[in-house]
Amino acid sequence: NRMEIKGTDYTKRKKDTVSIRLGTADDSFELHILPPTKGVHEGLVAVAGYIADAAMGKAEKSDLDLGDCLALVAAAMSNNTSLRVVTAEYLESIGFDLSDIGDFIGLYTYFVSELVDSKN
């Protein structure tokens, strides 16, 4: 009396991702980043708001902790299909700066908003 229940084959389920290239001209790789966890998403939204305020002169850029921002972006990037870990130190080593952080957050939040729209 053996029972077998067929579950979902998660290997066949196509995941929504956003693809980026990271690295240097000599050593680069592609990442397929998955949607963020709740904590990472909230952090990215907060940083995006802060960057927007700083750009409009409503906040001091010096108040923005670049290390914290890099850690947050690294956490988002580490949630990828190849399970490759990206660290804040690595991003710093390739010269990832505030404009790159703003660019990534813009792309990533657009990706997330498209996902939300497609589900509704």
Q: What is the mean pLDDT of residues 16-40?
A: 93
Full-model pTM: 0.80
pLDDT tens, position by position, 97-107: 888 998 999 99
pLDDT tens, position by position, 74-85: 999 999 999 999
With left for phi above 0 and alpha for psi between -120 and 50, is residue 21 left, alpha or beta?
Answer: beta
Within the chain, strands assigned E span 18-23, 28-33
Taking CA 41 as the corner, what is the angle to CA 47 and CA 116, rounded to the nearest 5 degrees? Answer: 125
Which contiguous run of DSSP H or E holds residue 25? none
